[in-house]
């Protein structure tokens, strides 16, 4: 089978994503029942981190071990990557010693260059532009909690960042709508978001209007990794874009709240919301493990049933 990478959400077709979700359900079930499942025995995942992580590292490392394989952690600080080794050379070498690579880095261009020179599948563990593994977990969580996401409305409140861009890509694949509300100057850039059209999202100046009638309300930090110099300015610009109980009250009564985490209570989300009855953030975080195990299985073994 030709090498398949997961660099953008739409690198997998709807059919492939449905398959990955079906495998996620089975793999999660086996894991919960303490049944051993080792399809990736003797396979090695290399994880390259150029930015900090808790969930992504843990879910990939634990996931690979639970599938019978092993995972190796590299970071920019103590590998040659941080000392200017060309990404193309690193890709050649790393992919000759491993079976699959996960990368968290800055520009999407870096991971795309790596993938072009890799002999093995490459997975995007977050770039400045996209976070496809996160949205895989988020949509799986939505389906698990509420059923099909097709035709539903997701309200994205806050920064049009990597997680927002990936929601917008996913909306095209799964045919749902995204209501986006960002402060002026932080609007979606369709080309950077990797969008083909504008049919699946609408922009709202007023975050309350974006949240009205939504099936899911979601947000993320005001300042993403790599943009720390803008932190103080962003705190001022985003002050009216907090998801609070008033905002959740205008969404559907059974609306879910999601956040990829880490969260800042009192900034992008009120404590009453993230710790309240609409929130499924812990289920969402846990599902990173299960969907990524299914993704690893699919990229390495293809369809097995
Ligand atoms: N949501 C997410 O990717 O978390 P980490 O930054 O902890 O990996
Ligand atoms: N948008 C955030 C997501 C962190 C998981 C960031 O890029 O820092």
Q: What is the pLDDT of residue 78?
A: 84
DSSP H/E element including 156: strand 153-157
Confidence (pLDDT) at 1:
67
The list of the chain residues with pLDDT below 70 reads 1
The protein residue with its alpha carbon nearest to ligand 2, atom 3, reads 224
Chain segment 97-144, per-residue pLDDT in tens: 999 999 999 999 999 999 999 999 999 999 999 999 999 999 999 999
Q: At 81, list the tokens.
A: 């990557």
181 lines ligand 1 (CB under 6 A): no
- Between the CA of 133 and the centroid of ligand 1 the distance, in Å, is 10
pLDDT at 39: 98
CATH architecture of 9-131+286-301: 3-Layer(aba) Sandwich (3.40)
Q: Decide: 225 in ligand 1 pocket, CB within 6 A.
A: no
Tell me which architecture the domain covering 134-284 has in CATH.
3-Layer(aba) Sandwich (3.40)
Distances 221 to 89, 138, 160, 235, 289 between C-alpha atoms, Å: 34, 16, 10, 10, 22
Which residues does 35 contact at the CB level (< 8 Å), separation at least 6? none
Q: Which residues have CB under 8 Å from 248's CB, separation 6+? A: 211, 217, 255, 257, 273, 276, 278
Evaluate whether 9-131+286-301 and 134-284 have a shared fold.
yes
Domain ranges of the chain: 9-131+286-301, 134-284
Mutate to test the pocket of ligand 1, among 47, 49, 53 (most ligand atoms within 8 A of CB): 53
pTM above 0.95? yes
């Amino acid at each position: 089978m030709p090498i398949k990478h997961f660099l953008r959400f739409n690198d997998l077709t709807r059919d492939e994503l449905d398959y990955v979700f079906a495998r996620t359900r089975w793999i999660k079930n086996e894991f919960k029942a303490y049944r051993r499942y080792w399809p990736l025995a003797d396979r090695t995942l290399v994880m390259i981190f150029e930015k900090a992580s808790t969930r992504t590292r843990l879910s990939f490392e634990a996931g690979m071990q639970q599938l019978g394989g092993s995972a190796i952690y590299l970071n920019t600080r103590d590998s040659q990557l941080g000392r200017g080794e060309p990404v193309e050379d690193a890709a050649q070498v790393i992919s000759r010693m491993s079976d699959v690579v996960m990368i968290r880095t800055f520009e999407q261009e870096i991971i795309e260059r790596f993938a072009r020179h890799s002999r093995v599948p490459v997975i995007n563990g977050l770039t400045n532009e996209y976070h496809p593994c996160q949205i895989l977990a988020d949509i799986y969580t939505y389906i698990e909690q509420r059923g099909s996401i097709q035709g539903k409305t997701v309200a994205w409140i806050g920064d049009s960042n990597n997680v927002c861009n990936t929601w917008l890509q996913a909306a095209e694949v799964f045919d749902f709508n995204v209501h986006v509300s960002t402060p002026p100057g932080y609007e979606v850039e369709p080309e950077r978001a990797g969008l083909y059209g504008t049919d699946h999202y609408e922009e709202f100046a007023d975050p309350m209007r974006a949240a009205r009638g939504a099936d899911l309300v979601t947000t993320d930090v005001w300042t993403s990794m790599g943009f720390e110099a803008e932190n103080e300015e962003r705190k001022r610009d985003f002050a009216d874009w907090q998801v609070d109980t008033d905002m959740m009250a205008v969404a559907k009564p059974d609306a879910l709240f999601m956040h990829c985490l880490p969260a800042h209570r009192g900034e992008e989300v009120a404590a009453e919301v993230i710790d309240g009855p609409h929130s499924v953030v812990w289920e969402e975080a846990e599902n990173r493990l299960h969907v990524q195990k299914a993704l690893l299985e699919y990229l390495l073994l293809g369809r097995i049933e």
